[in-house]
């Protein structure tokens, strides 16, 4: 059995992932020319074109993308196998990235339970709204909020999400909106999530609110609602803590589904690591225990 050159495979996989020879070279501490030479050699050995070249721009062919997925998985297995051979260091490191709202308002308050159950695992939690390159940045697992299209990663849907309006019980001295129509005279807090889909679901012909503060941080939006500044349209997972404590009250029984879902994503082969499997199993069990799988309608 004849295997392709391992250095060429590493260069090829990085080049497909970045779709850029220069960035692949920077990752592997090589030159652009070295990456190009390795890829050319692999193309000659396999007898197939792997990239369409236009000057210094390169585009991976569909065949190259499929093969790169196999190569990435095999490289991860090799790395994990080597890690298993090395003497145990006692503590296993687990790096997790999540969107800020989920990390701060749901995950972080519960991580202590995971650490108690797994005292040999050190968790490094990063909150980021950017789509990070998990492979390049050495991150074991991510929790993303989107449509589930994350090429090059293992993807598993966790839960869906819904929107509904909430308000502080102290808003306007306790004179809370009794009917959806009452929102026409209420102070509506704004965020990146539009009100219009919920207005339509409630049969309201109100325009999208304008003016005032636009909250890009959902934690700040909820804080403003708790302080009685107005009515906020919130995601269930993000606001459930304040609703459970009575700091916020859900208005009406109308909710709109969010087009995005929460997904667990990881680099190819990462789930073979015991700490990643332990986190995945705990996360899914905690989601079920906290009844996130049965969000209110």
* Predicted pLDDT at 296: 57
pLDDT tens, 151-196?
888 999 999 999 999 999 999 999 999 999 999 999 999 998 899 9
Based on the number of CB atoms within 10 Å of its own CB, is 260 exposed (0-12), middle (13-18) or buried (19 or more)? middle
Q: What is the CATH number of domain 92-158+260-293?
A: 3.40.190.10
Q: Which two tokens stand for residue 209?
A: 């609110």
Mean pLDDT of 210-216: 86
Mean pLDDT of 200-225: 90
φ and ψ at residue 16, rounded to 5 degrees: -70, -45
CA atoms within 13 A on the CB side of 208: 9
Q: Which value, in Å, is the radius of gyration of the alpha carbons in the chain? A: 24
Confidence (pTM): 0.65
Mean pLDDT of 70-89: 72
* CATH number 3.40.190.10 is the correct assignment for the domain at 162-257: yes
83-122 burial: b if 16+ Cβ within 10 Å, else e: eeeeeeeeebebbbbbbebbbbbbbeeebeebeeebeebe
State which CATH number among 3.90.1200.10, 3.20.20.80, 1.10.10.10, 3.40.50.720 fits the domain covering 6-85. Answer: 1.10.10.10
More confident residue, 20 or 221: 221
Measured at the CA of 171, the angle between CA 168 and CA 177, to 5 degrees, comes to 95
DSSP assignment of 204-245 equals: --PPPP-SS-EESSHHHHHHHHHTTS-BEEEEHHHHHHHHHH
Q: Which of 148, 126, 122 is nearest to 139 (CA)?
A: 126
Helix axes 236-245, 218-226, angle to 10 degrees: 30
User: Is 162-257 the same fold as 92-158+260-293?
Assistant: yes
Q: Which two tokens stand for residue 62?
A: 């569909």
Contact 269, 134 (CB under 8 A): no
Mean pLDDT of 197-207: 95
Q: Which two tokens stand for residue 25?
A: 């070279």
* Predicted pLDDT at 34: 84
Using 50, 70 and 90 to split pLDDT, how confident is the model at 297? low
More confident residue, 86 or 104: 104
Using 50, 70 and 90 to split pLDDT, how confident is the model at 295? low
- For the chain, the domains span 6-85, 92-158+260-293, 162-257
Does the pLDDT value for residue 227 go beyond 90?
Answer: yes
More confident residue, 258 or 76: 258
* Predicted pLDDT at 89: 56
pLDDT tens, 105-154?
889 888 999 999 999 999 998 887 767 778 777 889 999 999 988 888 89
pLDDT tens, 252-276?
999 999 989 999 999 988 988 999 9
pLDDT tens, 26-63?
777 778 888 888 889 898 888 889 999 887 688 889 89
Q: Which residues, listed in sequence order, are joined to residue 5 by a DSSP beta bridge?
A: none
């Amino acid at each position: 059995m004849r295997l392709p050159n391992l250095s060429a495979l590493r260069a090829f996989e990085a080049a497909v992932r970045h779709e850029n020879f220069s960035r692949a070279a920077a990752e592997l501490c090589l030159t652009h020319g070295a990456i190009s030479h390795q890829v050319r050699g692999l193309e000659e050995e396999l007898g197939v074109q792997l990239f369409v070249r236009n000057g210094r721009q390169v585009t991976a062919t569909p065949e190259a993308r499929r093969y790169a997925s196999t190569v990435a998985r095999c490289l991860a297995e090799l790395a994990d196998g080597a890690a298993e051979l090395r003497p145990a260091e006692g503590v296993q490191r687990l790096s997790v990235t999540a969107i800020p709202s989920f990390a701060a308002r749901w995950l972080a308050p519960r991580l202590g339970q995971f650490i108690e159950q797994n005292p040999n695992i050190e968790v490094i939690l990063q909150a980021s709204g950017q789509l990070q390159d998990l492979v390049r940045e050495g991150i074991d697992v991510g929790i993303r909020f989107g449509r589930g299209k994350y090429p090059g990663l293992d993807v598993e849907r966790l839960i869906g999400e819904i929107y509904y309006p909430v308000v502080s019980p102290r808003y306007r001295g306790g004179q809370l909106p009794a009917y959806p129509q009452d929102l026409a005279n209420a102070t509506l807090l704004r965020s990146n999530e539009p009100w219009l889909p919920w207005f339509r679901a409630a049969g309201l012909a109100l325009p999208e609110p304008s003016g005032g503060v636009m909250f890009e941080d959902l934690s700040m939006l909820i804080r403003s609602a708790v302080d009685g500044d107005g009515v906020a349209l919130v995601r269930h997972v993000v606001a459930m803590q304040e609703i459970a404590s009575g700091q916020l009250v859900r208005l009406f029984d109308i909710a709109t589904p969010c087009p995005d879902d929460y997904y667990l994503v990881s680099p190819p082969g990462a789930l073979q690591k015991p700490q990643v499997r332990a986190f995945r199993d705990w996360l899914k069990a905690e989601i079920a225990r906290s009844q996130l799988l049965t969000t209110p309608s």
